[in-house]
Amino acid sequence: MKKQKDWQHKGPYNLRSFNILKEPTGILAEFKQFLQSEEFAQYLSLITGLQPISSDFDICEYLPGQSYTLAHDNDPEMRKEGLDVMVCLMPEQEWDSEEHGGSRHYVLAGEEEELVTIEPRANCLAIVYRDKVEDHNGGLLHFTRFVNHTAPSSIFQYQGIYRLQQEESEPESSGKYEKDSD
């Protein structure tokens, strides 16, 4: 799966450092297509009661000793409201997030207390509703703890956001799944 030329670094370093698979093929492409499908969006609607309208997914690699993201309320990626969807792909192994890092943490902007922590686990799906950040005191931000050099492997995960239908405004149209309103 891994050839250096297939991966692109995602920065800038003052906000994040991890790799994105440029052109997934085979089963990786098929699973990404499934995550962006109308059927998966309907499933998300069923379990959340929200109305997903479009999605944007990447296949990411978090390397030991190199990868992290920071919570930053001026980052346009953090200002997007929607459902964060993550599927972690890694070998079945013991993973201690305190020792190895790689966990994703959600905090309210301007607060220090963590609301949710998602530990890396093989073949697990995590879904988090994220409100958009209106100012420095509102919204839900996330960051991924630095993956320590002692980690037993890289963390590979599909991660993306489903935009949600807004009652008072027109939906955004950027992604694979867009529901027709007949």
Residue predicted with more confidence, 135 or 144: 144
- With contact defined as beta carbons under 8 Å apart, do 84 and 77 qualify? no
With bands split at pLDDT 50, 70 and 90, how would you rate the model's confidence at 132? Answer: low
pLDDT of residue 173: 45
Residue 90 confidence (pLDDT):
86
Q: What is the pTM of this model?
A: 0.82
Structure tokens that stand for 130 in this block: 């994220």
**Segment 25-42, tens digit of pLDDT:** 999 999 999 999 999 999
Predicted pLDDT of residue 180: 44
Q: Note the pLDDT of residue 22.
A: 93
Burial of 79 (0-12, 13-18, 19+ CB in 10 A): middle
Residue 138: pLDDT band (50, 70, 90) is low
Q: Is the bond preceding 12 in cis, omega lying within 30 degrees of 0?
A: yes
Band (182; pLDDT cuts 50, 70, 90): very low
Distance of CA 3 to the CA centre of its chain: 22
Which overall architecture, per CATH, does domain 8-164 show? 4-Layer Sandwich (3.60)
- Answer with the residue of higher pLDDT: 113 or 17: 17
| Burial per residue of 89-105, b for 16 or more beta-carbon CB atoms within 10 angstroms, e otherwise | bbeeeebebeebbbbbb
Q: Do the Cβ atoms of 70 and 104 come closer than 8 Å?
A: no
